[in-house]
Amino acid sequence: MSDCGTCGPAGAGPFSEGKDLVEFVYRAHGGAIAVAPIPGGIQTTCQGCGEKFVMKTFVSKCPKCGGVHAVSPPRAQDPNGVQFAGAGYTLP
């Protein structure tokens, strides 16, 4: 079974929220999605410190505070789809 849709751990999928989405995207397809470029990038605001930045990959860190954010491919054109893993979160 592949690592997409709603077959991720504990039912996490591309429409999960917060840390669940970050970890889902980070692990999806063996990590290939996390580092894949987002065409044109996605302008967002860090949900930890408020810094504006452009996410260039599906899992990105805020350049100011290092806060980890992710967006799933189906939501990559929607800034509201960007999710924050939480203060102090580090990638596994």
Domain membership flag for residue 41: yes
User: pLDDT category, 8, cuts 50, 70, 90?
Assistant: very low
Identify which of 2-6, 12-16, 43-47 has the greatest average pLDDT: 43-47
Domain membership flag for residue 92: no
Which pLDDT tens digit goes with each residue over 24-68? Answer: 999 999 999 999 999 999 999 999 999 999 999 999 999 999 999
pLDDT at 11: 61
The rounded distance, in Å, linking the Cα atoms of 42 and 29 is 21
Helix (H, G, I), strand (E, B) or coil at 74: helix
Domain with 78 in it: 9-84
Residue 92 has pLDDT above 90, yes or no: no
Domain membership flag for residue 89: no
Domain membership flag for residue 91: no
Residue 10 has pLDDT above 90, yes or no: no
Domain membership flag for residue 4: no
Domain membership flag for residue 20: yes
For the chain, how many structural domains are there in total?
Answer: 1
Domain membership flag for residue 90: no
Domain membership flag for residue 33: yes
